[in-house]
């Protein structure tokens, strides 16, 4: 599959932990940051692939599932630890679902928003990667 887990460095303290994202933590230069919140548990987000951009998804609160497809295989992973991020590489279809109450998904992207980088139809995605 075209993804990998990224362990985010953390500082443990009896008063609470701190996770740290710095330039050397990310495998790409950060160009855009956004987050999803108040997503109903029955809703689905994502449903697209990027031609060039990489994205790191981090569950800041709660949990959600990410369905990853590459045209040949499909895998569902659960994100539920704020010190574990999921790096989704280019040309990888993703769907986010099963959001728990109060979940927040932070997304760090290697590129600024560019509509031409998106593939929003799964059949178009399959044509693009073959």
Residues identified as active-site: 48
Provide DSSP, the chain.
Answer: --EEEEEPPEE--TT--EE---TTTSSS---EEEEEES--TT--EEEEEESS--EEEEEEES-EEEEEE-SS-EEEEEE--TTEEEEE-TT-EEEEE-PPTT-EEEEEESS---GGGEE--HHHHHHHH-
The structure tokens listed for 40 are 């109903």
């Amino acid at each position: 599959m075209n993804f990998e887990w990224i362990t985010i460095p953390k500082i443990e303290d009896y008063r609470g932990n701190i996770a740290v994202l710095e330039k050397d933590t990310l495998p790409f230069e950060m160009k855009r940051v956004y987050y999803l919140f108040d997503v109903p548990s029955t809703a689905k987000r994502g449903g697209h692939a990027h031609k060039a951009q990489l994205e790191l998804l981090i569950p800041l609160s709660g949990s959600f599932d990410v369905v990853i497809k590459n045209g040949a295989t499909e895998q569902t992973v659960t994100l539920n630890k704020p010190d574990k991020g999921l790096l989704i590489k280019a040309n990888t279809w993703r769907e986010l679902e099963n959001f728990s109450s109060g979940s927040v998904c932070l997304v760090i992207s290697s590129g600024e928003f560019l509509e031409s980088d998106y593939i929003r139809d799964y059949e178009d995605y399959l044509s693009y990667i073959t």
